[in-house]
Structure 1
Amino acid sequence: MSTKPDVSVVIPAYNRPKRLERAVRSVLDQQGVAFELIVVDDASSEPADALYQELEATGHRVVRKEENTGPGPSRNLGAELARGEWLAFLDSDDHWLSGKLTRHLESLRSSGLRIGQAEEIWYRDGERVNPPKPHRIQGGDLFARSLKAVCVSSSTVMLKRELFEEFGGFDEELFVCEDYALWLNMAASEEFEFCEEPLVVKYGGHDDQLSKALPAMDRYRILAILKSFAGGSFRPREDLALKEVRRKLRILEKGSAKRGRVEAVSLCGRIASSVEGRRWNEGVDLCRSLISLWPTRP
């Protein structure tokens, strides 16, 4: 592919070869926009070799990693190789509907904004469902909503590549919640475009999802918030973030006490003290210790 694409599409892949093929086909079926597809295989034990050979033969890019490091580093690697003005991400267990790239790019360009997302259709355990209200995606100022719950869906996002680079991509320390961290940091200063037409199908409920396989996900969200405080990303919106990190710590401390996790209770209290004292780096280190008490990978 010698012509510079308008959009670079990045799919991080880890096993799930049948779902991956569905995702890939949904990208290849897009028309009306010049795009490149970059699949980053995260050291799969079940690589989709035939599909990869087909992609490479048609000018698309497949990167095979030797070590499994999670979706964040895989997306970052794909973005580093991207040549398009715009970036779009697609998780391997989701897929796009016809016209996703064309309609979403038109909507973004007309909005004048640098990042946006499109409406999605949810399936859980094979049945169509309505997403819980906190997770329903929309546009505008999403900072307050993004603090409490994930309301930016990576498979629907399209953004200027320069914006992704400005924010340094996904935090590679976070094996999970790396998407929460990046979209939250962007929402502190960027308004989101919203394409109301459903253009993405999102699947949930399968056993190999990271969000199901790892306990106490709020540990990672707390770490993400504290790292953003330490980096100054939330000024002048610190009050909202402080309120939310306090709430998450109370919930985590209560749950740890209920399960008899004495060390976790102690660490939650020490993190809370660091937050009140605005000792962000100390809080970050304590949160890392808290995360180490449970497995960080399935």
Structure 2
Amino acid sequence: MIEQKTDTISVIIPTFNRAWTLKRAVDSALAQDYPHREIIVVDDGSTDGTRDLLAGYKDKIRVLVQENKGVSAARNLGIQESQGSFIALLDSDDAWETNKLSCQAAFFQSKPGAMICQTEEIWIRNGKRVNPKKKHKKPSGMIFEPSLKLCLVSPSAVMIRKQLFEQKGVFNEDFPVCEDYDLWLRVSHDTPVYLIDTPLTVKTGGHGDQLSAGHSQDKYRIQSILNLIESNVLSADQEQVALNVFKEKCRIFANGCMKRGREKEGAYYLMLAAGNK
């Protein structure tokens, strides 16, 4: 177990109009065999039956309510109000195996210098289990370069020392999607992200209300890489790799804009790809 002075894990579950699946997430957090935890659900202005559902848990959980500001703001409020030294994020459409927290707690006990780790996942799409593609294979350790092309860290799978947010900042509230990609790049350029190679997180997708379904993710990944390059925290080698991926994503996004008749936007991203701003 984590030593007594830092043994509390704060579980943060952001939700917006997810009453239909939220109960499974909350129940999986309550079912954890790790006893020293608090469960914080942040209701991001839901208008369905979320409040009634959460009221039924009484003092088993803490409920924070805010006007609808997005998942980043909801997670950030939970982090701000948390009491634990460790943060475990759980999306409202995902769930955990009962030993997820205890396995990660044991990992941090065995590796006290670690700041963040994640577990492997079971993927469910449209009600059926699917196998992740090879490109989605999670690396362990210094994962910055492979993480530039696509997000290789899942919010529901991570556990993070709270002090890491103090060092790297929290989720970017200007990003409606890819806010996790943005944070993991800020973290992973100089911090190992370790993998517990056991599937303890059940990641569910395919439903119509997923945020990624309504936004172009590459647009926000481009902005995230640009912000990171301009922050001057990367080594020369990291900056060159990031710049190469940045240009590639700009070209791909620009071509997509052109095909959809958005010539002005496409021309702008082609200009970025050429190294002009």
- TM-score normalised over the length of structure 1: 0.87
Give matches, 1:270-281, under 5 Å: 270-273=271-274, 276=275
- The Cα of 1:5 is off from its aligned counterpart by 5.5
Whichever residue aligns with residue 85 of structure 1, its letter is S
- Separation (CA, whole Å) in 2 of partners of 1:60 and 1:5: 18
Partner residue in 1 for 2:221 = 221
Aligned residues between the structures: 271
- Separation (CA, whole Å) in 1 of partners of 2:34 and 2:256: 50
Partner residue in 1 for 2:51 = 49
- Report Cα offsets for 1:169-204 as digits up to 9, x if no partner: 001111111000001111101111211111110011
Query: Any idea what SS the aligned residue of 1:233 has?
Result: coil
Give matches, 1:54-203, under 5 Å: 54-55=56-57, 57-66=58-67, 68-112=68-112, 113-203=114-204
Give the superposed CA RMSD: 1.7
- Separation (CA, whole Å) in 1 of partners of 2:131 and 2:124: 8
- Report Cα offsets for 1:112-141 as digits up to 9, x if no partner: 311010011001111100112222223111
Is the contact between residue 17 and residue 46 of structure 2 (CA under 8 Å) also seen in structure 1?
yes
- The Cα of 1:232 is off from its aligned counterpart by 2.1
Whichever residue aligns with residue 6 of structure 1, its letter is T
Query: Any idea what SS the aligned residue of 1:201 has?
Result: strand
Query: Any idea what SS the aligned residue of 1:195 has?
Result: strand
Provide runs of 4+ in structure 1 moved above 6 Å: none
Partner residue in 2 for 1:15 = 17
Is the contact between residue 44 and residue 65 of structure 2 (CA under 8 Å) also seen in structure 1?
yes
Is the contact between residue 249 and residue 272 of structure 1 (CA under 8 Å) also seen in structure 2?
yes
- The Cα of 1:150 is off from its aligned counterpart by 1.0
- The Cα of 1:18 is off from its aligned counterpart by 2.4
- Report Cα offsets for 1:43-79 as digits up to 9, x if no partner: 1111422332233x3252111112x111111100000
Query: Any idea what SS the aligned residue of 1:77 has?
Result: helix
Structure 1 gap ranges (5+): 278-282, 284-298
Is the contact between residue 75 and residue 170 of structure 1 (CA under 8 Å) also seen in structure 2?
yes
- Separation (CA, whole Å) in 1 of partners of 2:151 and 2:6: 33
